[in-house]
Every structure is written in structure tokens, then in C-alpha cells.
Chain A
């Protein structure tokens, strides 16, 4: 029988299709651009593509349901992640114009790869079939492996790319193995069929092993301990805007998959996995970040810690926990993309200025840039008026509702420790005199727009979170229904 695809099937894939089309346009247009000129025109095409994909995701609201023979499912959950990923992509592209120019990187493929990466991530959040999830994961990963090595004349960038590639493929291997075991245990790879099959006891022990292995693969992608070891090196070497992208986009997508895999199937035996990984991630991330001199490395460790906070919400489970995860992902995307975008700007040619020492006296030299970075640091600490505060608050509140008092106590102590290293950035910027000459560049228009978007999103989520939070709650219910 030849399967019949209707127009609705394509609409349920519309955001991904838009990104693919624009990615191909960028690739085709790349040879037409004069070799020595910058690739801003291609970037603008890519930006338009990203914005259109966000609009396409919003358009999907009236087309919820299964598509492509039940391979993907469009629900408020997937739409939420599509919008977040689309916005991340758009902002990262905007922030990249100036960066590529300064670093003299003249390859239009950069923009195409970002779009393709976003395709994979979006697909991850809507796929409800494990093999498709795996393929989407690979699409996203391969794009980011290449992007990590884009400063190809710099040794650490190559190192970053190779390390990410080797460890990443190893991790996806685990993930695939997990899928195979689940298939062995339940006879299907469709998430909602797996759910139905696991409802009937006894749960085969293969399923436990399968869930554990899949968790290893996804734990790698979200940089949670003990699968975090690659993070600092890869983030340090990769181009800063790429780090902005890969510390938020793939992470959001991997959390989406984890949510679907764990909660839609009501998979067995996940609680202690999450519990242990959450505690490890928070402690390792925060303690590791305390001693870093490079801001990029510090933010890498901080991203491990944030993965830990999100896993706390995972452990809390139920609608509240899931909505806390969703909200946290959005808030984290806003503040982290912003932080890396400004780090990319301050790094200057060859990413020379990325240590704390280089930031000394920034409050005087570049007050606007220092103020913007301060907003993101405060949000990462979790100070009120910022999205980071409410995000953390929801996570701990959800965990407390689930009576995970121990996890909450470890979490709040960790966030107190974390305030030290974020605060140090602010202290250095405003209270230290510079020990050497560090040039300051003016921000380009694209970057200003990108950063304003991040600042506004951070503050919006901190002051008027209700709409996003309600939507997150609806999404959570859509997932567990």
C-alpha cells in the first residue's frame, strides 16, 4: 500500500521544510558571492529563513496532530520548542555577522550549517518515533561538529571539533543501542506504542537497560554529569557564536526528547538516574566553574550546572516538573545566547580576549556592553527581575511539591555557590582597573538587535512569566496526556 500524504502532513513539517529550503538557497548562492566579500548577504537570507520557520511553527497551532504516518506529532509541546529553537537560530545568525567579519571567516556554509542544525533540533522535538529521533539527532550533531571547527586555522578549534565528533558519535552509539534494546523489549519504536506496551506488567528488564543507555546518549547532548567531560574543551575551542548555538539549541532539543522518552512512555527506572545526574551536574558544574580564568570555560561549566538544575525538575516529574523544564529551557536560551554573543564580541580578532583579566575595567571602557553582560550574569545567578530567577524558582518549587527536599537543598546551596563566579565577572568589569590595553569595538547593528532581543526576553520572562508559564503547563499536559 502506498501511504497517502495530505497537505496537513507537510504543514506539520513546515518549519523544518522552510529551514531546509533556505539552507539550500544559502548553499546555492554561496558561489555567486564574490570570494573576498563578507557573507552578510547569505546571513540575511538565513535569518529570514529562521524567522519564517518561527512563523511557520506558530501557524502550526491550528494543525495539531500526528503527521507522516505517525512519525511526528505536532502538539503545543513541539510548537514551544520549535519557536524557542527558531528564535535561538535567528539570534545566533544575527550575532554572527560581526563575528565572522572580525575573525575573517568567509564561508557561507556557516549559515547553512546553522539552519541544518536547527532542522535536526526541531525535528527532535516533534518526532515520536525513536529511529526518526535518532536521525534528527544526527542531523543536528553533524552540523554542530563541523561548526565547532570553523576557526580552522586555530588548533584548539580543530581539537574542539574532533573531540566533539569522537565523543559525540560514541554517545549517539549508546543512544542507538538503547533504541535497539527498547525495540527488543517492546517490539516497536513508536513512543506512544512503547508507552502502551510498558503499561502491562511485567516490565522486561531489557527496557530498563534501554532507558539507561538512551539516557547516556542524551545526557551527553545536554552536558550533564557524568557525561560532561567534553564540554569545557569543546566550548573553549569552538567559535563563540557557535557555542551560543550549541549550548542552547541542541540542548533544548535533547531535553525535549528526554521529556518525551521518559514521560510520554512513563519509562521505568528513570528516577534515580535523574536524581544522581542532577546532583552530580550541579556540584561538578559549579565547583568547576569557580576556578576558571577563561570566561568561555566558566560558562561551559555553568552550562553543566544549569543542566543539573533542569534535571532536578525532571526528577520532580508530573506536569509541574515538566513545565519547569520547558520554562527553564526558554529562559536559559535567552540568557546564555546573550552571554555568548557578548563574549564573542569582546573576544575580538582571533578570540584573543576571553579571560576574566581582559574584562577588567569594562564598565568604564564600554558601559553598554558591560551593562548587558551584567544582566545576563544576574540572570544566570538567578537574581529577581530576570528570567533566570523565576526559572530556578519554578524548578525548586516543582521539586518541593514532589517532596524532593534533599534535592532542593542541594540545589539552592549550589546556586549560592554559583553566585560567586558570576559575580566575579561583574566585579572585574566594574571594580578592577585594567592591567593591559584591551581594544573595544563598537557593536554592529545586527549584534545590537540580537542582544536587545536577549535582554528583553530575559527581563520579560522575569517579570511577566505568566503567559509563557501557562503555555509550558499546557505543553506539559499535552505531553503526558
Chain B
């Protein structure tokens, strides 16, 4: 594999281009159009840069990280600026950078107050999220993890809807309180291993150089609670509907699209990667929570009168699939879980975008306010249908691939899990199609819906990439899974070594 000149600092670039853009914006003149154009340029540049990763990724390599950069940041305590990606994280980075320019575009008209601050926060948030996905030093990870909190809370609290302050504070406190337990666990690990480096710690635990037989349970729980709140896993999910409903559209898209994945990614990377034995021991009840989440989320989604809240609860359900896949401890389950993360990022991102577009026209998310929109807005209805079907998991669209793999993994691990979880697919068809029917079909009863403008060029420009991604991921999942597969196999081999010992 030839190395490219960018390889060693591409990850730093992908993190620091949006961050640098945010800093530049601070001293930018307050001309709204220029600010938007500049942010869009930064976002597109970041996306293009991030494409370097899949293009130059070594798909043949199993195990280890790629595009690594590792240099000392702080001497005592021993903290490294260590970044790198493997098949799990690479596509999450690309997903983030993919959604970012779309977020800028979708806020073009809906955000018109404090435009500068909005875009600064948006860029900072994406920089922090990307940082979370690429960090291989626990300190660096925690650094970005916490850094993502503030911009998100401010995006919700300043630019959101009516109950925004409540939602922002709830979001902040939930995640902040949960993550300090992770901090305590990290400090314990450092005190015993003498390094924050992910690979060092993983090796020390796997070889038994550091004995975690006593503390392991608590360490596992410390990490678990931080990630479970972020995912969110039932019963830690109550912040999510509030945050989603109140957030501005771009905030919801990033929140559902990638921020929640920080939780599932964390479970995968740290809970399983560092503590395989503990993960294996705790898998049954975690899977129980995941399955409860799948079904509970779907049932609650079904009775929501509010479109955005419905999509929010559907996220709880979908992320239940991710956790189920991850904790099935099968290659296909792990790959499927990761794939669901990506698919959900695209399709739920698109659903929130669609909700935002109709909100801009009618200023309500209430399903009962609509009906018959297919007549007045045919293009919108078409896009909505495609994304709805993707979200349900229709074959040839992205939702199907991941959920199918997750369910296969669950069957392999324990058939009853697969059977119960599979009902979630049916439920998702119920709530999504029912919503679609109530919003788009039938006669137009509400006169306000008669004269709505269909999508304009900008809105189509946002939806086309999303719909295209949903289709390509459904037709050619191999493009993605050929990177994820080796990572999953590598992880499982690490696990089996530890379990066999």
C-alpha cells in the first residue's frame, strides 16, 4: 500500500479545518450571506478532505488503526495526541462531514438571528464530534467528548423552539453527569496502566498485566453509563425527545445523525474493546435493555401526534438495533450494528430535514394539521416516501441491510433475541407508514395546506445527496462493509483470545 503525503495529518486536518473555520468566523464581519457562504465552503472542504480516508484506506489490513498520528501532548500525566481510524470509526467521520454542509444549507433561511454564533457553534460541534471518533488517547477522547456538549446545548437552547431552555439544560445535565463516571474510570485505568493510550490499555488488560478482576465491573459500568445516556438506551432516553423537538433542524440532524453515535461507538470501542470479559458477562441485560428500547421506542413513536417527536422516538428504536448488534458478539452483528449507525445517520438526518422543511412553511409539527400534502407538494412527498421506506428497512434501501445483519447476528447468538427484536421492524413500518398516510394522503382538509410551495432548488440540493446515499448504501453495502468487516473480525479475535485465556 503506497502511503500518501496527507496520510499522517489528514485526521488533524479533518478536525481542525472546521475548528479553524469557527475561529475565523469569530472575527468575520457580520454579513449574513458571507457568513453562510464561508461556513458552507469550510464544510464542503472538510467533506472533501474526509473523503481521503475511504479512498486511501487499506482495506486488506486487519487489525490496528490507520492514518495514525501520535505525538506527546503533555508529559505528566502522560497524554498523547493520538488519533487514528479503523473500519468502525472511519465511516462515522465521513458521515459527520457529509451531514455538515447539508446542515449549513438547511439553515439558510430558517436561522436568521445571531447567524454568526449559529455557524460558529455548528462548526465547533462538528469538530468536536469528529475528534471523538478519531481519538485513540482516552484523555483526548474525553476532551472532545465534553467539548461537544456546550455547542450542542447552546444550539438547542438559543436557536430552538418554545421549551428550548428546559431541553438544553436537561440534555446538558444528563450527559454531563453521566460522563463524569467515565472520567473516574479513565483515571483509574491511568493510575494502574500509566498511560491513557487506547492500545496500551487494551494490551495491559488483555495480557493480564493489569488485574481488573475486582474493579472491572465498576470500570465497565463507568464507561457504560456515559455511553448509554448518549445512545440513549432505555431507560436513559428521556432527554432525547425533548432535545430533538426543541432543537433547530440542523441541531436535530447532527444530534440524531452523529451525536448519538458517539454513544454506540463508545460502547463498541471502549466497553467491548477494553473490557471484553465484562461486556460478555453483562451482555444479557444490556441486550434486554436494547430490545426493550426497540419495542418501547416504536410503540411510543406510534402514538405521537408530533412528527418530530415521532422521529425522535424512532431513533430510540433504531439505536436499540445498534446495541443489539454490537452485543451479539458475532461478526455479522457487529458489522450490522455499525451499518445501522451509518444508515440511521443518513435516513433520520433526512427525516429531520424533511420535518424542518414543512415546519418552515407551516410552523407546526402536529400531524393532525396536515393531510393531503401529496397533492400540493408532490416532490416533497416523493422524497419523504423514499426516506420513509429507507427508515422502515425496505430492501434495496439502506435501512434493510443493517437491520437484517443485526437480526441475523442476534439469531446466531440466541434465536429468541432475534425473534423479539424482529417485531421492531414491523412496528417501524406501522408508525412510519401511518404517519405518511396521515400527512400526505387523503383530501386536503386544512386550507393552509392548499397553497404550499413545493421544494425549491436549495432544498432539493439538500435532499438529493441524502436520498442518493440511502439508495447506494442499500444497493452496494459492500462499499462500506468491506472496511467494517476486518475491524469486526479483529475485535472478535481479541475477544476470543481474552475469553479463551
Contacts and interface: CB of A to CB of B under 8 A. Distances in A.
Interface of A: 320, 323, 363, 378, 383-385, 389, 393-394, 396-397, 399-401, 403, 405, 408-409, 412-413, 415-417, 419-420, 423-424, 426-427, 430-432, 465-466, 469-470, 473
Contact of A431 (B149, B158, B177, B184): B158
Contacts of B147: 383-385
B169 A466 contact: no
Contacts of A397: 77, 187, 190-191
28 contacts: A320-B76, A323-B76, A363-B158, A378-B150, A384-B143, A384-B146, A384-B147, A385-B143, A396-B184, A397-B77, A397-B187, A397-B190, A399-B187, A400-B188, A401-B191, A405-B184, A408-B187, A412-B183, A413-B177, A416-B173, A417-B177, A423-B173, A426-B154, A427-B169, A431-B157, A431-B164, A432-B165, A470-B76
Given A416-B176, A423-B172, A427-B168, A394 B77 contact: yes
B76 A469 contact: yes
Contacts of A469: 74-76
Contacts of B164: 431
B40 to A, nearest CB: 23
Contacts of B183: 393, 396, 412
A473 B75 CA distance: 11
A427 B171 CA distance: 13
A466 B73 CA distance: 8
B181 interface: yes
A425 B332 CA distance: 48
Contacts of B367: none
A323 B77 CA distance: 11
Contact of B177 (A363, A401, A416, A424): A416
A469 B79 CA distance: 13
Contacts of B329: none
B184 A412 contact: yes
Nearest to B116: A367
Q: Is the contact region of chain A dominated by helix, strand, or loop, or is it mixed?
A: helix
A417 B180 CA distance: 10
Contact of A419 (B75, B77, B176): B176
B144 interface: yes
A183 B180 CA distance: 45
Contacts of B187: 396-397, 399-400, 408
A426 to B, nearest CB: 8
Interface in B150-188: 150, 153-154, 157-158, 164-165, 168-169, 172-173, 176-177, 180-181, 183-184, 187-188
Contact of A405 (B142, B154, B176, B188): B188
A258 to B, nearest CB: 22
B149 A430 contact: no
B24 to A, nearest CB: 16
A412 B165 CA distance: 25
Interface in B48-75: 73-75
Contacts of A419: 172-173, 176
A430 B176 contact: no
Interface in B104-151: 139, 142-144, 146-147, 149-150
Among B142, B154, B176: residue with most chain A CB under 10 A: B176
Given A397-B191, A427-B165, A431-B168, A413 B157 contact: no
B180 A416 contact: yes
A468 to B, nearest CB: 10
Nearest to B149: A383
Contacts of B76: 320, 323, 469-470, 473
Contact of A423 (B77, B146, B169, B180): B169
A470 B150 CA distance: 30
B180 A400 contact: no
Contact of A384 (B77, B144, B157, B172): B144
A415 B180 CA distance: 8
A399 B153 CA distance: 30
Contact of A383 (B146, B157, B191): B146
Contacts of B154: 426, 430
Contact of B181 (A401, A412, A473): A412
A465 B146 CA distance: 18
Nearest to A394: B77
A401 B193 CA distance: 10
Contact of B191 (A394, A400, A412, A427): A400
A426 B74 CA distance: 30
Contacts of A417: 177
Contacts of A473: 76
Given A396-B183, A431-B158, 6 more contacts: A389-B143, A397-B77, A400-B188, A401-B190, A413-B180, A427-B165
Nearest to A390: B74
5 A-B pairs with the lowest CB-CB distances in the bound complex, closest first: A412-B180, A400-B187, A416-B177, A400-B191, A384-B143
Nearest to B19: A385
Contacts of A412: 180-181, 183-184
A427 to B, nearest CB: 6
Interface string B344-377: 0000000000000000000000000000000000
Contacts of A466: 73-75
B233 to A, nearest CB: 19
A427 B181 CA distance: 25
A427 B184 contact: no
B146 A389 contact: yes
A427 B157 contact: yes
A389 B177 CA distance: 15
Nearest to B77: A397
Contacts of B144: 384
A431 B165 contact: yes
Nearest to B173: A420
A400 B168 CA distance: 32
A475 to B, nearest CB: 13
Contacts of A385: 143, 147
A360 B149 CA distance: 22
A408 B184 contact: yes
A28 to B, nearest CB: 45
B184 A409 contact: yes
A413 B178 CA distance: 9
A417 B144 CA distance: 20
A60 to B, nearest CB: 25
A320 B180 CA distance: 21
Among A363, A409, A412, A470: residue with most chain B CB under 10 A: A412
A470 B75 contact: yes
B492 to A, nearest CB: 31
Contacts of A384: 142-144, 146-147
B417 to A, nearest CB: 34
Nearest to A418: B176
A242 to B, nearest CB: 31
Contacts of A432: 165
A430 B157 contact: yes
A363 B113 CA distance: 12
B79 to A, nearest CB: 9
A227 B181 CA distance: 30
Interface string B68-110: 0000011111000000000000000000000000000000000
A78 to B, nearest CB: 21
A413 B180 CA distance: 7
A247 to B, nearest CB: 25
Nearest to A403: B191
A394 B74 CA distance: 11
Contacts of B169: 420, 423-424, 427
B134 to A, nearest CB: 15
Contacts of A424: 169
A237 B16 CA distance: 45
A393 B139 CA distance: 9
A145 B188 CA distance: 43
A473 B169 CA distance: 38
Contacts of A416: 173, 176-177, 180
Nearest to A432: B165
Contacts of B158: 363, 430-431
